[in-house]
Chains A and B, each alone.
Chain A
């Protein structure tokens, strides 16, 4: 069997509103409701709704032969529930076909896997419950970590939670001469399987599709299928992992991205021996060719495929450390509002906005950031965090007084 495995990441952060120093201690609502709603509504029209209906069409047309997988972050689920219920319904319809697999991630698209096992596990559970609640008891079996972040340790941690396998980047520096088009296993938990993104073919669609300066522009379905056919015959699986917003938002409808996806299955069926599979099908049918060693975490971001988009400069490290210092104190309050804000504040995007790698990947960063500069992003985040720290402190003080009174 040779197969193509599509997985789409669906996520939008709760962006923080402009929060001034004068607001600290008074204003406890941090979220830019207007902007967040606007983005969801806009991208729903450009991407989520048209692409969902296209996928539904393809499933109806090709029956059980066509399938895809989604990882939908809790931040996204919370926002479509509030701002675009029709998007939630269309995802529910897709999942109800049985041809669409949902993956598990952390509820708040968090970087907790790098910092705290307890926090990580609690956010994974919460995401699982959210999925079960919204998708008629659906329970994901495969895991994808925020930004495809993976290391031997993180893989082992996920294996202990009982998942069949996990998705990550086919980063050059960990693969070396090896091919991403096989199933691998975790080096600490040999029974735990790892799927690697074929970043060349994925990014041909996700990043280069509409780029008319690219040598292979325009990308047609027959060209893409000829590339699939050109892969060594013994390589069994091509993992095409990308942001769902690729369709209609990063690549506008005018580029022909929807038409490309509409005719790709047909082209694959008629001109190649590839099939479509979901991640759990791939994991079930293929055994690992070897283990893969990832001592330091990798991700799917930027040229380096490391963590430097979120962590590494002083501002990012400061924000990250100050936030996670609070973990035990916040969790012990059991205050639902504090815990909600705590989880929302962990979203990786907040740290991404503080990235100062202007020169190589700056344009991508700028595109996604609501701030003019990383400095503005840092100042705003730290103001909010300062207020949050005060609230946590007050919650503990008031609890202490009620305890002494009792």
Chain B
């Protein structure tokens, strides 16, 4: 398997999902070689880890040169950088224009220290990672199938397939359409499309994501299987942390970006506060839309009832869930979305958008269209005032969680693998 991050060093849900999946595969006695750009040394030894930063590329191998030539479609010297908002992008380009790195030379040097992050050299790292993929595929014969997680690892998967001739599965945790709406970052889109087309089979984390693969990337529906994510620990968390304000608390917790739909949460908050002043809204997280949200809150004159916490980590995340009376995830497009399940673990009733993959597996939640702020306000008001509904969600949500196990996901994945291998022989 080719991944990009692995717990405990993660910046998003991808690493957690990979960890869960590897655990599930272990349960079914499947051996996993897991490649990451950078190993920190404190990863739990659940797989046969390969640290891409220590793999040296054999520059005499002719096939690699050819591969590298093909990889230049990644446009390593372009200024198109995913995961950056307009402001960070401006900062980045101005710094890059001053001192550019010569990629062609550095890539075939012997060692390359990956940052394993989502920074400005991302495209360069993705290309180099692909060469590592090829090298590993040549060196190690002890694998049957190649599995690449998200677009960052697709080029590595494609390269490994080309060198070894073994079948490739790409795992779509998110697509560029989720991250950027219709204004996609084209180089990223191209990598995603190349990965899905080169793959023998595609795994999508929800039906919603599968539909995007079919519609936007032109992948035949029968080539895509849906494997919903699961939770590592479904136990209910009872926190001793107490809230210190008398009002009820409604929470948005996540990146404050286009994809997460924060503006709809603000609009719904205004509608609720107009009817019920005894509520506080909290927007926890940071992102490129934060200042816009602050402006809007001030414009709506709800600043004493609507709070911003900035980016939360560690215990603060748990505390935030613990003191929330309602959790809202109004994502515009969410391939899966693990956060609402965390809220359920804290016995907090959740409202999720229909445009999220998690809506396909969680029944005891209110589901609304992300744009329907009236429905969102109704749902918030209802959960705050009609206690029976909130109580029911609490009772049933926990049971639902227990069914979402990584063993089940892994079992389905093994079936997918078996079908691919059977087709080959």
Contacts and interface: CB of A to CB of B under 8 A. Distances in A.
Q: Do A and B come from one complex?
A: yes
Interface of A: 20-22, 24-26, 313-315, 317-319, 321-322, 373, 375, 378-379, 382-383, 385-386, 389-390
B244 A386 contact: no
A375 B303 contact: no
B301 interface: yes
Given A21-B307, A379-B307, A373 B291 contact: yes
A22 B319 CA distance: 9
A314 B298 contact: yes
Interface string B258-296: 000000000000000000000010100000001100110
B301 A382 contact: no
Given A20-B309, A21-B308, 7 more contacts: A315-B298, A315-B303, A318-B303, A375-B294, A378-B294, A379-B294, A379-B307
Contacts of B245: 24-25, 386, 390
Nearest to B290: A375
A22 B316 contact: yes
Contact of A382 (B243, B291, B307, B310): B307
Nearest to A389: B304
A315 B307 contact: no
Nearest to B309: A21
B246 interface: yes
A26 B319 CA distance: 15
Contacts of B44: none
17 contacts: A20-B309, A22-B244, A22-B309, A22-B316, A314-B298, A315-B295, A318-B297, A318-B299, A318-B301, A319-B298, A321-B301, A373-B291, A375-B295, A383-B307, A385-B304, A386-B245, A386-B305
Nearest to A26: B244
Nearest to A379: B308
A385 B308 CA distance: 13
Contact of B298 (A20, A26, A318, A390): A318
Nearest to A378: B294
Contacts, number: 64
A386 B304 contact: yes
Contacts of B319: 22
Contacts of B294: 315, 375, 378-379
A322 B297 CA distance: 13
Contact of B303 (A21, A319, A373): A319
Contacts of B299: 314, 318
Interface residues of B, number: 23
Contacts of B301: 314, 318, 321-322
Given A24-B245, A318-B298, A378 B303 contact: yes
A382 B304 contact: yes
A373 B87 CA distance: 14
Contacts of B309: 20-22
A208 B76 CA distance: 48
A317 B301 CA distance: 9
Given A22-B316, A315-B298, A318-B298, A386 B307 contact: yes
B244 A24 contact: yes
A386 B279 CA distance: 12
B316 A382 contact: no
Contacts of A390: 245-246
B282 A313 contact: no
Contact of A24 (B295, B303, B307): B307
Nearest to A18: B310
A25 B244 contact: yes
A25 B83 CA distance: 36
B378 to A, nearest CB: 25
A146 B280 CA distance: 34
B226 to A, nearest CB: 38
Which of A317, A383, A386 has the largest count of B CB atoms less than 10 A from its CB?
A: A386
Nearest to A393: B246
B307 A375 contact: no
A387 B245 CA distance: 9
Interface in B230-259: 243-246
A21 B310 CA distance: 9
Nearest to A315: B298
A389 B307 CA distance: 14
A341 to B, nearest CB: 15
Interface in B157-205: none
Contacts of B290: 375
B291 A375 contact: yes
Contacts of B297: 318
Which of A21, A313, A315, A373 has the largest count of B CB atoms less than 10 A from its CB?
A: A21
Contacts of A26: 244
Contacts of B244: 22, 24-26
Interface string B299-340: 101011101111000001001000000000000000000000
A382 B307 CA distance: 8
Nearest to B308: A379
Contact of A378 (B282, B298, B305, B310): B298
Contacts of A22: 244, 309, 316, 319
Contacts of B305: 386
A310 to B, nearest CB: 14
Contacts of A373: 291
B301 to A, nearest CB: 5
A382 B304 CA distance: 6
A351 B289 CA distance: 23
B146 to A, nearest CB: 45
A382 B309 CA distance: 12
B304 A322 contact: yes
Contacts of A322: 301, 303-304
A313 B295 CA distance: 9
A332 to B, nearest CB: 20
A317 B307 CA distance: 17
Nearest to B284: A21
Which of B294, B309, B310 has the largest count of A CB atoms less than 10 A from its CB?
A: B294
Contacts of B298: 313-315, 317-319, 378
Contacts of A315: 294-295, 298, 303
A21 B304 CA distance: 11
B89 to A, nearest CB: 18
B282 A314 contact: no
A378 B304 CA distance: 11
A274 B52 CA distance: 80
Interface string B377-413: 0000000000000000000000000000000000000
B3 to A, nearest CB: 34
A313 B310 CA distance: 22
A43 to B, nearest CB: 30
A378 B292 CA distance: 13
Contacts of A378: 294, 298, 303
A355 to B, nearest CB: 13
Nearest to B295: A314
